[in-house]
Structure 1
Amino acid sequence: MPKTSLSTSPLSFRGSARYSLGVEEELIAVDPRTLMPCGGTERLLARAGLAPEHVTGEVTDGVLELRTPVCDEAGEAVGILAGLRGELAEITPLVGAGVHPLARFSDVALRGGERYELIGSTLRSLMRQTAHCGVHVHVGMPDGETAVRAANGMRGWIPLLQALGANSPYWYGQDSGLASARSVICNSLPRSGIPRAFADYADYAATVEELRALGECPDDSYLWWDLRPHPRLGTLEIRALDAQSSVEDLVALVALIHCLAVHEASSPARRVPGPEALRELSFRATRDGLDARLLLNGSLRPVREVAHHAVGIAGAYAADLGCWDELMLVHRLLERGNGAARQRRNAALGGPAEMLRELVQETVSTVTEPMEVAAAAG
């Protein structure tokens, strides 16, 4: 267990000169014959020969994390991820989903190393049920105060993002009745869910220090909230999305998050629902996905209506952020359904095995020029 000591020194927030963008996505490597999780992270990384700043391993063996450098636009970031998917697909098939839909209970191996050993020993069976995979979107913030103001405002958008990004309805081969089983797993962990609003950056830093002093959270990277300031990168990190199979869905969601984060950072602080209401709305979003009803101007409205409202707000920033066409792909996501809806549709047509084949095919059928897709969407 790491030694801890109380300190009143706040975390130093690095700060970004612009509202830059970075994206990390976690994908599951699968056996080419069975399409079941295959493990072997070290072997796969050695075969791929990609730099660790682009592709690395995760706590669960067989989960690969793809990373972008600092980018300016959603299309640029997701284009890089699409290229990395293409390179990895030459080595192994991949599944882009919140959880592998047919993986067996507890068929999980954790990787070694000080960080992962601490996670495994403190979370115990919670990390050994099934691998869970998400998308983490980083938006550059000029300073800690702006990051906290943006985080406080983005808390109100988390249920919508969870509904749009839900992509894990099947769990251990069964329809879970949820749109995002991954969210249930994540919410079973400590330091998870939607955090409270912080008074200012000092309040956030003091909270991190209070948790660190308890001995199982050595630093702020052990905060698994749905969003958090990231002082070392100078960003606000939004962590609410399931991993995505469709690159079109991914670029649409990244563009929406980028615009909304800039909106919250550059607007006066606003009141969002209280923590109890946000927790309730978050559950409904992860349970019902695109069929959920969420708050809009004080009343419960269908997700699609809330999403159109969000796109309207985001559109004011899209041109400056170079993501207008990508943002418009949110409409396509609403029309054809999110990942959870497509998994269920494919399972109804061809059974679980066919659903899994379609999921793998969609993950590796990368689009390297999202702007061309957006233009085709018309």
Structure 2
Amino acid sequence: MPLQAFTPSEPLTLGVELELQIVATHDFDLVAQADDLLRETARHTGAWDIKPEITRSMIEIGSSIQTRHASLRDELRDLRGQISAAARKLNVAIAGGGTHPFQHWSQQQITASERYRYLSDLYGYLAQQFTVFGQHVHLGCRDGDQALWLLHALSRYVPHFIALSASSPFVQGVDTGFDSARLNSVFAFPLSGRAPFVRSWDEFGSYFDKMTATGVVQSMKDFYWDLRPKPEFGTIELRVCDTPLTVDKAAALACYLQCIGRQLLEERPFEPSEDDYLVYTFNRFQACRFGLRGEFVDPRTKQRMRLRDDILRTLVRLDEHALDLQALEATQLLRDSLFEGNDADRLRALHASGQPLPAVVEAAAQRWMQA
């Protein structure tokens, strides 16, 4: 199957997808009630979308196309309110967070769809272990060439989004020591990691043809890259974020990407190169393992610094762009989080205070549902 043409879209438009946990209200373990929740929300009001995910204790919601922080945040709040009301009718709860702290992968049920059955047959137990929860952000691009330029330019900032969104310190009842343990599950897939360094859509088409000729790839969905182009939407998609504990944080993260994208496109502070990826894996690991406390090596200057400091410097550079995009409230929320800590810190603090993990999940659900 040849690569489809890149559908032009308005640059810097936004779309957000959130994978959410469905938990029982008696023990706060995951519960396979996605079908019930989808039926309950089938007649929702709003332009947003809701659909099943790979296992039946997950749902994914997607915003409409947005251009500004306030409208995106308000839509996500509306979505939260309607889904929370539906969940209460079913006596279940909805939570953010990149992993469920104590669920066991072997108990997860694959969603009954052709694609998910195919993935289960192909990847075996990894499909059930893929019961992890992420935020994906789509950023509109003029054409395929711009999409690839921006994809490579944004690679430098991938650790920012991992550390800011990290909310998955616990896996199967254990503190992993990682702020984002969720990404370890993603990295297990053979076509994860970084996209190849190609500069033009024609060149990417040649790469895609070679991959499909091997039989390894059938469509763009088979690539689990941290950043990937989505030609049918006319976007690039950032896939490294854990699902935050609140929709306000999700909206802020999306607008941070929008602000960085605007600065890169308008100022062109550097030209992306393959050398930018020399420290990519190191920086990504540091962000997953240590979050905002991790180290960061600037791929250009080779200077080593704290990731928190690099994010703070970036936010200062973005002030003008955030003002023009009406996103100052979003960037201020992220600036505050640099000192308050990320969601992984919040979850750990709850557990360290003596709360058992079911109570930690209950608190996370109350926070997401605004109960």
Q: Same fold (TM over 0.5)?
A: yes
Residue 64 (str. 1) matches residue 59 (str. 2) = yes
**Kindly tell me: are residues 165 and 346 of structure 1, through their superposed partners in 2, closer, same or farther at Cα, counting changes over 3 Å?**
same
Q: What's the counterpart of residue 360 of structure 1?
A: 365
Matches within 5 A, 1:181-200: 181-200=181-200
**Kindly tell me: are residues 112 and 206 of structure 1, through their superposed partners in 2, closer, same or farther at Cα, counting changes over 3 Å?**
farther
Matches within 5 A, 1:82-231: 82-92=77-87, 93-129=93-129, 131-231=131-231
- The size of the alignment, in residue pairs, is 359
Alpha-carbon separation, structure 2, partners of 1:137 and 1:75:
16
Q: What's the counterpart of residue 337 of structure 2?
A: 333
Moved more, 103-112 or 43-52: 43-52
**1:241, distance to aligned residue in structure 2 (A):** 0.3
Q: What's the CA shift string for 1:83-132, capped at 9, x where partnerless?
A: 11111112321120111111124221111222112211111111122511
**Kindly tell me: are residues 71 and 159 of structure 1, through their superposed partners in 2, closer, same or farther at Cα, counting changes over 3 Å?**
same
Amino acid at match of 1:287: R
- The structure 2 residue matched to 1:348, chosen from 323, 348, 352, is 352
Whether contact under 8 Å (1:156, 1:272) holds in the other structure is no
- The structure 2 residue matched to 1:289, chosen from 280, 288, 291, is 291
- The structure 2 residue matched to 1:35, chosen from 6, 28, 46, is 28
Whether contact under 8 Å (1:135, 1:242) holds in the other structure is yes
**1:273, distance to aligned residue in structure 2 (A):** 4.9
Matches within 5 A, 1:36-55: 36-50=29-43, 54-55=49-50
Whether contact under 8 Å (2:56, 2:109) holds in the other structure is yes
Whether contact under 8 Å (1:252, 1:330) holds in the other structure is yes
Q: What's the counterpart of residue 374 of structure 1?
A: none
**1:259, distance to aligned residue in structure 2 (A):** 0.9
What TM-score comes out, normalization by structure 2 length?
Answer: 0.91
Alpha-carbon separation, structure 1, partners of 2:325 and 2:209:
35
**Kindly tell me: are residues 108 and 19 of structure 1, through their superposed partners in 2, closer, same or farther at Cα, counting changes over 3 Å?**
same
Amino acid at match of 1:90: A
Backbone CA RMSD of aligned residues: 1.9
Alpha-carbon separation, structure 2, partners of 1:49 and 1:166:
31
Whether contact under 8 Å (1:15, 1:142) holds in the other structure is yes
Residue 303 (str. 1) matches residue 307 (str. 2) = yes
What TM-score comes out, normalization by structure 1 length?
Answer: 0.90
Residue 75 (str. 1) matches residue 40 (str. 2) = no
Which sections of structure 1, spanning at least 5 residues, go unmatched?
367-378
Residue 233 (str. 1) matches residue 233 (str. 2) = yes
Alpha-carbon separation, structure 2, partners of 1:121 and 1:264:
41
Amino acid at match of 2:370: S
Whether contact under 8 Å (2:148, 2:198) holds in the other structure is yes
Q: What's the CA shift string for 1:166-185, capped at 9, x where partnerless?
A: 11000001101111111100
Matches within 5 A, 1:261-276: 261-268=261-268, 269-271=271-273, 273-276=275-278
Amino acid at match of 2:95: V
Amino acid at match of 1:83: D
Q: What's the counterpart of residue 280 of structure 1?
A: 282
Whether contact under 8 Å (1:66, 1:81) holds in the other structure is no
Moved more, 294-303 or 324-333: 294-303
Whether contact under 8 Å (1:107, 1:130) holds in the other structure is no
Whether contact under 8 Å (1:99, 1:133) holds in the other structure is yes
Alpha-carbon separation, structure 1, partners of 2:163 and 2:117:
32
**Kindly tell me: are residues 229 and 35 of structure 1, through their superposed partners in 2, closer, same or farther at Cα, counting changes over 3 Å?**
same
Amino acid at match of 2:86: I
Moved more, 272-281 or 176-185: 272-281
Q: What's the counterpart of residue 90 of structure 2?
A: none
Amino acid at match of 1:335: F
Q: What's the CA shift string for 1:33-91, capped at 9, x where partnerless?
A: 21111112211111122469511111111211111111111332232122111111123
Q: What's the CA shift string for 1:110-164, capped at 9, x where partnerless?
A: 1122211221111111112251111111111111111111001011110121111
Superposed structure 1 runs of 4+ greater than 6 Å apart: none
Q: Provide the identity percentage.
A: 24
